[in-house]
Chain A
Amino acid sequence: MNFQAIKAIYIFEMSRTIRTLIQSIASPVISTVLYFIVFGSAIGSRMQNISDVSYGSFIVPGLILLTVCLQSISNASFGIYFPKFLGTINELLSAPVSYVEVVIGYVSAAVTKSMVIGLIILITASFLVDLTIEHPIWMIAILFLSCVSFSLLGFIIGIWARSFEQITIVPDLIITPLVFLGGSFYSINLLPEFWQKVTLFNPIVYLISGFRWSFFGNADVSIGYSISAILLFTTICILIIWRIFWTGYRIKS
């Protein structure tokens, strides 16, 4: 393993984050706070509790995941797209660095950044609504796994993309709707039975449900399913990345 290289990629990526600190951290935090004010406090005060949890608290896990998933994708996709765009990826390709090391470097930087954002949102939320976390270790574990899997997905998107627009297509057209429809702001038990069934095909449901379980101890689907779904998703991403590097798809001419 070329640990120097992994460290170098990681530090290089993190320094980009730090250089654009306001943009990187402040903007997701501000938009989340706005969600809380609108949905949590303003509308939420008129809403019933969902399984004994006030609506304001109920939406916290979903909101954190919404931001964290989108951030992971954008961090990792821009992280690898920039070198492609600038041509600096050639240096990476001509260095004694394996693909695994490249992925670890970029993905761990993206994961770090989204974890930090997720935790900042959590802390912010704890000032605005009542929060208790029943399974803190699981909470961190699920948050971490979500960051990893979505950063891997972002990495794939960054390699696939040929323009800046294409980078935002997948998160805007697929991920955002899936997260919204995956029960970020409601329990899927509130849906008519038919739509409950349909919703179970949305992988994000398992993620949000598991994450919410770690906070409140109850969930729409069982925690075992949630963990399996996240691991399955992560594995699929890893397989795709492995395939990409094996064939040099959109990296080597």
Chain B
Amino acid sequence: MSNIIEIRELNKVYRDGTIALDNINLDIQHGEIISLLGPNGAGKTSLISTICGITNPSSGEVFVDGYDIKKDYRKTRKLIGLVPQEISLEPFEKVLDVIRYSRNLFGYSNDDDHIEKILKRLMLWDKKDKRIVELSGGMKRRVIIAKALSHNPKILFLDEPTAGVDVDLRIDMWKLIKKLRSDGVTIILTTHYIEEAEEISDRISIISQGKILLTENKNELIEKMGQKTITFIVETKKNLDSLAKKFDLSITKNNPLTMLNYNYKTTDDTFNEFLSDLNKLDCRVLNIDTKEKSLEEIFLDVVGK
């Protein structure tokens, strides 16, 4: 897969001295969904704003489809659709006019068939003649998504698209994002709902204090960082303390039963030994349960460092 966005040594220091981006290097691949995760103030929005031309970088370079975002800004921006975190809309304009306006700004003439398709997809078609002030918050969020899609972007930035959106709509939005991906659109998503990132993204990038801490394929990340805890409920008369020490188990006794927690890693090769030791100690296994470490826990581990 080739890169559609290449970010090289990007720095952003705001006028007040805040370092929002600290030497960012990141390649975004053609057609993928990548989630940027990070706590409030990590620099996610700053990164997106810089790529889109809303803020000037302090130093560094960004290439979109091979074009420099400064020198060839017309080419790069035409490829990009942006759904900003903050909803800002002209309050007294009609939905349809606002969306047409976006399309025109990107240099395209009106195409009401295309806009109709987008509005229907976002379940806004019946609201097309309403003024923005007459819409609910979730509807406004859909309007800014429609605006971003009005010029058929090849790359879509979604900065917390599901903040303040109800459960039904969120699931619809995931469907839409997956559909766009299958149409070949590259999607860069920020979210504070980790299960959302887990659900839809191909890759995950964790950013904190302006630095990218890691960028990994989602499944590999969960596998690599993820530990399983395997819980055994056993019945035995023997003392299990030495076993616990050997395999670093946590033990809870509740006569005549004992609960053992075994921390399993994929790189682990002592598990078989543990099982045979368990047998030797005459343990009768009554129940087994496994629990995987979630992306959320991985995230907290990484950011907490």
Residues on A close to B: CB < 8 A? Answer: 2, 4-5, 7-9, 12, 15, 19, 82, 86-88, 90-98, 248, 252-253
Contact = CB atoms under 8 A, between A and B. Distances in A.
10 contacts: A5-B105, A8-B105, A19-B92, A90-B49, A90-B84, A91-B105, A94-B77, A95-B77, A95-B105, A253-B55
Contacts of A4: 104-109
B250 to A, nearest CB: 50
Contacts of A92: 105
Contact of B89 (A2, A86, A98): A86
Chain B: interface size category: 20 to 34
Given A2-B74, A15-B97, A86-B88, A96 B56 contact: no
Contact of A96 (B15, B49, B77, B93): B77
A239 B101 CA distance: 29
Contacts of B90: 12, 82, 86, 88
B53 A248 contact: no
A5 B104 contact: yes
Interface of B: 14-15, 49, 52-56, 73-75, 77-78, 80, 82, 84, 86, 88-93, 97, 100-102, 104-109, 147
A242 to B, nearest CB: 17
B15 A97 contact: no
Given A12-B101, A15-B97, A86-B89, A94 B53 contact: yes
Given A88-B88, A96-B74, A96-B77, A8 B101 contact: yes
Given A15-B97, A93-B53, A96-B78, A253 B15 contact: yes
Question: Chain A contact residues: over half helix, strand or loop, or mixed?
Answer: helix
B47 to A, nearest CB: 14
Nearest to A97: B105
A16 to B, nearest CB: 8
Nearest to A94: B52
Contacts of A7: 104
Contacts of B105: 2, 4-5, 8-9, 91-92, 95-97
A83 to B, nearest CB: 8
Contact of B54 (A5, A9, A93): A93
B73 to A, nearest CB: 7
B80 A252 contact: no
Nearest to B14: A253
A18 B82 CA distance: 30
A178 B147 CA distance: 44
Contacts of A252: 54-56
Nearest to A2: B107
Given A4-B106, A91-B105, A252-B55, 9 more contacts: A2-B74, A4-B105, A5-B104, A12-B90, A12-B97, A19-B92, A87-B88, A94-B54, A253-B55
A104 to B, nearest CB: 13
A94 B97 contact: no
Closest 5 CB pairs of A and B: A87-B88, A8-B104, A96-B74, A94-B52, A95-B105
A90 B54 contact: yes
Contacts of A9: 105
Nearest to B18: A253
Nearest to A85: B88
Nearest to A253: B55
A251 to B, nearest CB: 10
Contacts of B107: 2, 4-5, 96
B86 A91 contact: no
